[in-house]
Structures are given as C-alpha cells and as structure tokens.
Amino acid sequence: MHILALDPATKTGWARYKAPSNGQPAELASGVVELDGELGAFNRQFRKFLINQIKGHEVSTVIIESPILPSGVTQIKTLLKLYALNVNTHDIVKALGCSLEEVPVQTWRKHFLLGRTPPKEHRVKGKQSNWYKKAVKQRCQDLGWQIKDDNQADALGLLDYSRSRMDPTYAAKSTPLFEMRP
C-alpha cells in the first residue's frame, strides 16, 4: 500500500505513506509545494509535481480533499486554479492507473481530531476555520510529525484518515486507547 494524500491549494500540502515490504520499513514523507503563475504555468507545475510523486514513489492510491466553494469574495482566477487542481488530479491518476478517492474535509477532520469541534466562541464566520487549522497542526505535533504549515498538516490528517480506513490494524492503533502512530 502506497498512498499519496493531497490538500490542493496554491500551497498544496502532501503526505505520502509506503507500507513496509520485503524487509523494508514503512516510509512517511510530507511537505508543501508552492504553485504560482498564470493558469497555464500553474497547471504545468502541479501536473509535473503529481506525476513525479506517483511515478517516482510507486503510488497506488491518491486521496484528495474534496473541493468546496469558498465563502466570501474570491477572484475567478483563484477559483479556476483551485478547481483545475481537482480536474488535473482526476486526469493524471486515471491515466497512470491509480485509484482515487475524494474525502470531504469534515469527514477526515472528525476522525483526525477525535470528534473535537470548536468551542462556541469559535463557531462564527472566520474563527472556526482558524480553530480547525490550529487544532490539526497541534494534533500533528502531538503525534511527533514535523510540519511547516496548515497545508501540510491537513495532508497528514487526510492521510491518517485514509490509512485508518484501508488498514484495520492501523485504525485500531490510532484510537485514543491504543494511540501509537509511526
């Protein structure tokens, strides 16, 4: 099992897990890729990154956070870039013969944060998102994972959710009672 989890954005968080095999230990890697430029260059950067991740690390499954419609005023250029990430992911993953799963942000966060939700004072527009970002980053740090920013933390949370669904032994270890994650 080799999984790549993506939190697609102009700063795309990624996390990759390779299960142990043939005497080799498990591998966990994560980071952030910053994409910029006009739409064409932006797409080419992302496509190159994704192809290199899949081919270079023999990824069999790609997990991507489901796209959402941003709230507030967002420029059309920004929306095109965000949705292009999803379209490019679907296209590349299918072309390279991997499986693909989209996971809503609420689903993986509920799992990763062990059901925790923001306190009442943070359940207002603008504050809730910040609370979740901080909580996910803190959870990653609690698990001993080094993170650069909330994009990388989100990708690790998404990866954790996916590993729990795909591997019952990992799911059992990742509960609060047996918390023991590599």
Sheet architecture: strand order including 11-18: 27-34, 11-18, 2-7, 61-65, 99-103
**What type of residue sits at position 48?**
K
For position 176, what pLDDT does the model report? 57
Task: Classify domain 2-178 at the CATH topology level.
Answer: Nucleotidyltransferase; domain 5 (3.30.420)
For 93-102, the pLDDT digits (tens) are: 999 999 999 9
**Would strands 61-65 and 99-103 be described as parallel, antiparallel, or unpaired?**
parallel
136 close to 113: Cβ distance less than 8 angstroms: yes
Predicted TM-score (pTM) of this structure: 0.90
Q: How far is CA 57 from CA 2, 53, 80, 125, in A?
A: 8, 6, 29, 40
pLDDT at res. 174: 63
* Pairwise CA distance, residues 68 & 26, whole Å: 32
Whole-number pLDDT of residue 120: 83
148-175 pLDDT tens trace: 999 999 999 999 999 999 988 887 676 5
Averages of pLDDT over runs of 10 residues in the chain (182 residues) are 95 96 93 95 97 97 90 80 95 98 95 88 78 95 94 98 89 58 46
